[in-house]
Structure 1
Amino acid sequence: MKSSNNDRLNTNISNKSTILVIDDNPTNLSLAANALEYRGFNVLIASDSLSGIKRAKFAHPDLILLDILMPEIDGFETCRRLKEDEKTQNIPVIFMTALNQSEYQVKGFQVGAVDYVTKPIQIEEVLARVNLHLQLYFLTQKLEQQVEERTTKLNRALQELQESQLQLVQSEKMSSLGLLLAGITHEIKNPLGFIAGNLEHTEVAVKELIEYLKLYQEIFPVSGTIIQEKAEEIELEYLLSDLPKMLISMKQGIEKIQEISRSMQTLSRADRNEKVNFNLHEGIDSTLMILKHRLKANEYRSGINVIKNYGSIPLILGFPGQLNQVFMNLIANAIDVFDEVISNQTRTDDLIVEISTEISLDYQQVMIKIKDNGHGMSEEIKKQIFDNLFTTKEVGKGTGLGLSISRQIVEEKHQGKIFCESKLGQGTIFTIILPIFQDDNSELND
């Protein structure tokens, strides 16, 4: 004869289920325990409420059969205490009682019981109710587990989506920035070269003209009235002494523009699919050059002094454009800190951004620190600064993506670490640690 589905389910439940019976009557205790053990359940017993509560906390049974009428602490109070404890609150409780008035049954449900059986107990009734509530209990646990797993998967999918969005934003931003800077660099490169080349010839020509005029003055010290008047009109002597200085200034200006152009070219360097050897100092210096105008004094603060403590570090195998973006984010944030105006008070104290680099003792990592002596941040804010879309800036002045993207670039793209140290009133330090993966021919960079 084949067994029914219910019989198989009941057998499975009994094979893995533990039942705690709490009753001060030895006869009832023995009767219930023997019947349950005969059906394959693991049975624990307790003859009073306090020991029953202790056993429930320690063994965590799957179901509790609880007598109501017991000395000192009755079943109602026992159930209430079980439901108040996180360790036992989810265990289903079935009351065993000779009190069949509805008010006692209602009270039992109010304190947290799931069912009740009347005394004298009928074994088949007890087994039927035990099996029913164990099924519900295990189904509930399974459902909660499925919900938790689904929630975990959804959270993971959400995190992956956010990371993908960050990558898209970063790629689009870097692509747009790279195209913009590359276009500007290309457009000014040719005119700069033309001006620089002609300026050299102009310098030589002016020098020769001045020598010619001086020679003319020596040979013909007495010139005509018209020539003398023109010389005084154009302030010839001043012009002869000042013209070379003007050419020198123009040459310096051209060199500065060329330096900016080179920095823009460095920052706009398009990343390939593969990493390349990269000079970190070159990237930092290019970033500082682009941000130089923001370091100057303004109406709210004095100028920002940049201190560079560069160590001898090797080339880093990485994506230069992305690492330059990290430097840009961190240094620009440090400047933003100084630009924040509190109660319209002008800052005249020394404003410092210190940038240091060094190699680890085992020559396996490079450390970059960007430190400012700004107002720092609270622990609460510090915990959130790398979160996606978190910003402390005013609306329209910050996207909340800079530091999140920076962490992604450092940790995911370069297998490094980035972290922040900060205290209110004591400034902030951002530390980047990058592993040294490089070609054998790489040289140290000062």
Structure 2
Amino acid sequence: MAVRGASILVVDDTTVNQVLLRALLEKEGFQVEVADSASEAIAHVIKRAPDLVLLDVMMPEVNGFEACRQLQKLPTMRDVPIIFITALDDRQSKIKGLQTGAVDYITKPFARDEVLARINVHLNLRTARLQLLQEDKMAALGQLVAGLAHEINNPISFIHGNLQHTQDYTHNLMALIDAYGAAYPEPPESVRQCAEDIDLAFLREDLPQMMQSMTAGTKRIRDIVRALRLFARLEEADCKAIDLHESLESCLLFLNHRLVPRKEFPAIEIVRQYDVELPQVTCYAGALNQALMNVIVNAIDALEDKIQEGGELNFQPNLKITTHSISDSSVEISIADNGIGMSETVRSRVFEQFYTTKIMGRGAGLGLSVAQQIIEEQHKGKLLCSSTLGQGSEFQIQLPLTQTSV
């Protein structure tokens, strides 16, 4: 399967080879950067890591074998495949290249079909490896969250359950004090002094408010635990009927640290327009949670990019989430932001594997691609995108209410 949109770094000191490979790869939809030497390649990689490197063996100053060693020392290159391109066809050179860390060899003169086949094989292997790593991370996260939710839920349930009794007892004690005051309007000096020392008037006013605050606090923790349990369905493999609003809220809870005001960013306003009559959707809950999370993260990234650009005075970032039925058999979730937006060129490629316009460290360009795969291939739905550069983007997730094969 061809991996359009992947970025490839060609490291070759021969201009003819650079031009030939660039023309061949760009025609197939790859993003291509070129470097003349190992030092220039390292400078490229530090700025932005590619998805694959084509590295010439015979270069002046630093040969390809040493360049491969230097590149692999960089943290961002740990999972990036390196393919040697060379006129050397002897067995020892190939073994040395593979021992150095390269994954394959392409010999000169280039054969178009061979070059593309080898590149696509290793890009697809990298995609599969990264997706497995992501699935493992999400499954581990789900197990961790489920464990934490269980450990938190037991003591907080005990506290929450006893708070109502504590409020009742407090109310009874206050009633006793009132009855005593009515029976003995002129209490002994020792009782009067004690009431003054403990500031009984303030205590009577503040204690009920304190109990209400404690009750509200434990309720909030119980709500968080419930959301954690919902999100922890990541490891579940079976189809089941779920409340999409609960899934959305659990994702927002996990991303709350990016929604609240921070040093560099103002708070992101969440605008919810939920259809209260939205039916439940039968789906793979864990996978769908991951897709929703990826789309929301992408929207937050777009908002932060616009804030960092600083072009709009008093910019108020907001994320609008809308749900509604679009037919008797399907529903739609809309996730819209007023962030940086996309040009039509970027929008048309936004679901391509490895395609990203984000700075290094912000992701490998798999988030929206994975979301599309989960929604369209696994759930037979649709993931659509519309965007206006400088104004924001909207992602529409359309899902059938039931899955044909469970």
TM-score normalised by length of structure 1: 0.59
**What is the match of residue 203 of structure 2?**
239
Note if 1:267 corresponds to 2:231: yes
Say which of 415, 418, 426 aligns to 2:380: 415
* Aligned twin of 2:44: none
What is the aligned partner in structure 2 of residue 372 from structure 1? 337
SS at 1:313 equivalent: coil
Answering whether residue 258 of structure 2 is matched by residue 305 of structure 1, we say: no
Partner of 1:431: 396
Counterpart AA for 1:282: E
For structure 1, which runs of at least 5 residues remain unmatched after alignment?
Answer: 1-146, 440-446
Alpha-carbon deviations, 1:171-197, whole Å to 9, x = none?
212211101211110110111111112
Match of 1:285 among 246, 249, 260: 249
Q: Does the 8 Å contact 1:416/1:434 carry over to 2? A: yes
Change (3 A) 1:322 1:280: same
SS at match of 1:370: strand
C-alpha distance in 2, partners of 1:414/1:156?
26
Question: Match of 1:375, as an amino acid?
Answer: I
Cα distance change on mapping 1:438 and 1:402 into 2, 3 Å: closer
1:271–1:319 contact (8 Å) kept in structure 2: no
Residue identity over aligned pairs, in percent, reads: 37
Question: 2:322 matched to 1:356?
Answer: yes
Q: Write the distance in 2 (CA, Å) between the matches of 1:345 and 1:207.
A: 57
| Distance apart, 1:407 and its partner CA | 1.8
Q: Which residue of 2 aligns with 1:221?
A: 185
| Change over 3 Å in CA distance of 1:382–1:189 after alignment to 2 | same
User: In the alignment, what sits opposite 2:295?
Assistant: 330
- After superposition, give the CA deviation of every residue in 1:226-280 in whole Å (9 maximum; x if it has no partner): 3322222221111111101100010001001100100000000144443222222
Separation in structure 2 between the aligned mates of residue 389 and residue 319 of structure 1, nearest angstrom: 25
The question of 1:169 aligning with 2:125 is answered no
Contact in 2 for aligned 1:302/1:347 (Cα 8 Å): no
Give the distance between the partners of 1:235 and 1:294, measured in 2 at CA.
43
Structure 1 contact 354–371 (Cα < 8 Å) conserved:
yes
User: Is the 1:276–1:320 Cα contact (8 Å) retained in structure 2?
Assistant: yes
SS in 2 for 1:181: helix
Q: Is the 8 A contact 1:297 1:303 kept in 2?
A: yes
CA-CA distance at 1:369 after TM superposition: 1.1
The question of whether the paired residues in 2 share the 8 Å contact of 1:353 and 1:371 is answered with yes
Does the CA-based 8 Å contact 2:142-2:234 persist in structure 1?
Answer: yes
Gaps of 5+ in 2: 1-110
Higher relative contact order (CA 8 A, sep 6+): 2
Relative to structure 1, the CA distance from residue 407 to residue 433 in structure 2 (aligned partners, 3 Å threshold; closer, same or farther) is same
Q: Which stretch shifts more, 181-190 or 309-318? A: 309-318
SS of the residue corresponding to residue 346 of structure 2 reads: helix
Q: TM-score, normalised by structure 2?
A: 0.65
Aligned partner of 2:388: which letter? K
Q: Is the 8 A contact 2:350 2:356 kept in 1?
A: yes
Contact 1:367 1:432 in 2 (8 A): yes
